[in-house]
Structure 1
Amino acid sequence: MSDDDSLPGPLDTAEQPLAAVVPKPDTEDAIADLRAEGVYDDDRRIREFGADAVALPVTEPPQRTQVREVVRQEPARRLRTLDDHLREQGWSEDELDRAPGSWAVIGTVVLVDVGDAPRPAEVGEALLALHANADTVLARHGIDGQHREPDVELLAGSGDTETVHTEHGTKYALDLAQVMFSPGNKAERAHMGDVVDADDRVFDMFAGVGYFTLPMARAGAHVTATEHNPTAFRYLLENAKLNDVHDRVDIYRADCRDVADGVEADRVVMGFYDAYEYLDAALAALEPGGILHMHEATPEGLVFDRPIDRIEDAAAAVDRTVEVLDTRRVKGYSEGVAHVVVDARIE
């Protein structure tokens, strides 16, 4: 993966293509920003730049994207797809048809569902070649147990599963072999940071490593966050400090029901597929006129109707009324099942 024999030289020493240097954990966000700025060069590949950074190919110096420096490099044609890399390893077209079609880069770790792909180790090596900012590739096999711990297998790389992942400026430290992180929830995490009002009082009932707590606290909300998983709780504490929001986040390692009675919240976030089982506690914490954000894994034929009915039934049981404000599909959960969110004002 390393290109140490052709490290870039100073900007003014050669008429070579440009590259923008960024820290490895910022790679995916920086690429998105450079593309939005119209200066990312898809025809060249990403290169390592020392031990902790990568050089992203650009057509001209970026004006809006934050980078460490802009350098010049020897031109290097990019193998643009996973199939390109696997073909170089001798894979046939029939084998390529069984290769993974998607994966996620979380900080310096690639998560991939290899399915029935032949030679998974070669898939791992190809993904490392495709993503210069990554140093470990994990095959994911699902989520197990009361604490929803990931079942993963090392395919390639150093095996370092602890990383810092950055999304829209929010930093998530985590160990992907010990705690879950859903790449498909990225837009929802950003959305929660956008909709919250400064000084809102938020109760995040299933906080994890801070999926929703952190963007909401960064937007100025005061968050009471509960998490039962000891490993996720430890990272939640670390991430509150990492994002400099520890003064706006009260964190409890506890069952959310045990905390709810002492909370007065303008918003309650229920980021758990079986969250409806905790609606009584959520409504106990939610002030009149407050907003509930409830997640659910719903069969396609019941999408939105079932979670709305559950909210309305729980509210009626305590003589409260419901105004549905928004409904969203976050992603597919499994075949025939969707991950959805209902936002509702509870009077």
Structure 2
Amino acid sequence: MDLAVVVPKPDSEARIADLEAEGVYDDARKIREHDADRVELPVSDRPRETDFDRLVEQDDPELRAPGLDDLLRERGWSDAERDRAPSSWAVVGTVILADFTDCPRRAEVGDALLDLHSEADTVLARGGIDGEHREPDVSVVAGEGDTETVHTEHGTQYALDLSRVMFAPGNKAERARMGEVVAEDERVLDMFAGVGYFALPMARAGARVTAVEKNPESFRYLAENAQLNGVSGNLDCVLGDCREVDSEADRVVMGYYDALGGGPVAEAGTSEGGPGYLDAALDNLVSGGVLHVHSAVPEAELWERPESRLRAGCERAGRTVEIGARRRVKSHSAGVEHVVLDARVD
């Protein structure tokens, strides 16, 4: 007999925690919608300590697909070994990216991940991002070893080689958002375009985008992706330093973590190699335009550090700034957040 308790949808997470604590939550079955306002949480026995609306019997319950922990347990992995396996991963096109750290028997974990994701054919261990060109450090763990793929998000296609160019799966919502905030025929400057992370969704939305990328490998995919997505007519790809571009824009995207640094900044607001990134952005942004500034910030300095740097740069340029939305995109590293400021600059 497959039992479930009916609870209000807004209370479901708290009730699951209560059922787990009581030892009666059945995580082998999926949660099922009961009606517009309530869901059915699967249980192994009638709860005695958890509140619920009613107890029901389920016909033909839907079982959860096995997870990585289940597969490794079936293959003889101990609790201690499974604790060292990746707790999360991302599927990018046909490639699985995972953080293996001190995981034992990586090839076995890679094979298990391929069993979980039939659409993938390669598993990569993800390291850091190195150098001025933000080049990824990855190694093949299992599968065919083909690191080149086409990844699709919200209709946008990204061709890329994950062994040569970076791709941040955690920025998915921000990439989609940028395609929603632009207006048709709006002029946009994307200063750190990469393979078209933000430029492609904006161009697909009808904006006229100048996308600048310094890394020749990323630039090659940027140009290819403009063709792949059918936006070559309104996406101008520029290979070079974004601080040297002259492009009048209604909106500027600064998608680099150190965008507010811009290298060694002198008292006059310029770096040794030319104008700083923020100075260049303001030079191109029309009065009343919108600036999207990404930054990696220690938790203790949110939001003071990025806001003070942005305000100081605008003051230096004789511009006024009004900071609107402040968003956390994802965790960048331990104690450091990847954030974005949206600002109107006059």
Fold shared per TM-score above 0.5 = yes
Say how many residue pairs are matched. Answer: 273
Which aligned runs of 4 or more in structure 1 are off by greater than 6 angstroms?
A: none
Partners of 1:127 and 1:137 in 2: how far apart?
8
1:256 Cα deviation from its structure 2 partner? 0.3
TM-score, normalising length: structure 2: 0.77
Match of 2:320 in 1: 321
SS at match of 1:275: coil
TM-score (norm 1): 0.77
Match of 2:179 in 1: 193
Unaligned segments of structure 2, at least 5 residues? 1-27, 31-61, 261-275
1:89 to 75, 91, 96: 75
Q: CA deviation at 1:77?
A: 7.7
The alignment status of 1:336 with 2:335, answered yes or no, reads: yes
Does the CA-based 8 Å contact 1:79-1:85 persist in structure 2?
no
Q: Does 1:215 align with 2:201?
A: yes
Which residue of 1 is the match for residue 112 of structure 2? 126
Distance in 1, Cα, partners of 2:210 & 2:73: 51
Unaligned 5+ residue runs, structure 1?
1-41, 45-75
- Which of 247, 252, 267 does residue 251 from structure 2 map onto? 267
Deviations 1:291-324 (A, max 9, x none): 0000000011111211111111111112110011
1:308 aligns with 2:294: no
Cα-Cα RMSD:
1.5
2:230 is equivalent to residue 231 of structure 1: no
Structure 1 residue 88 displacement after superposition: 2.2
CA-CA distance at 1:150 after TM superposition = 0.5
SS of structure 1 residue aligned to 2:70: helix
Give the structure 1 partner of residue 86 of structure 2.
100
The SS at the match of 1:316 is: helix
1:304, 1:342 within 8 Å by CA — same for their partners in 2?
Answer: no
Contact 1:271–1:294 (8 Å) recurs in 2: yes
Matches within 5 A, 1:142-221: 142-221=128-207
Instruction: Return the alpha-carbon distance in structure 2 between the equivalents of residues 202 and 288 of structure 1.
Output: 14
Cα 1:242/1:43, change in 2 over 3 Å = farther
Counterpart amino acid of residue 192 in structure 1: M
**CA distance, structure 2, for counterparts of residue 137 and residue 43 of structure 1:** 28
- Between the aligned residues of both structures, percent identity stands at 64
Q: Which residue of 1 aligns with 2:15?
A: none
Deviation string, structure 1 residues 248-280 (Cα, Å, up to 9, x no partner): 011110000111xx2100000000001015100
Tell me, yes or no, if the aligned pair for 1:100 and 1:114 is still in contact at 8 Å.
yes
Once structures 1 and 2 are overlaid, which stretch shifts more, 282-291 or 91-100?
91-100
Describe the SS at the equivalent of 1:171: strand
Report 1:2-13 matches (<5 A).
Answer: none
1:303-346, Cα deviation, whole Å (9 max, x unpaired): 12111111111111121100111110000111111000000000
Q: Secondary structure at the match of 1:100?
A: coil
The C-alpha deviation readout for 1:19-66, integer Å capped at 9, x for no partner, is xxxxxxxxxxxxxxxxxxxxxxx979xxxxxxxxxxxxxxxxxxxxxx
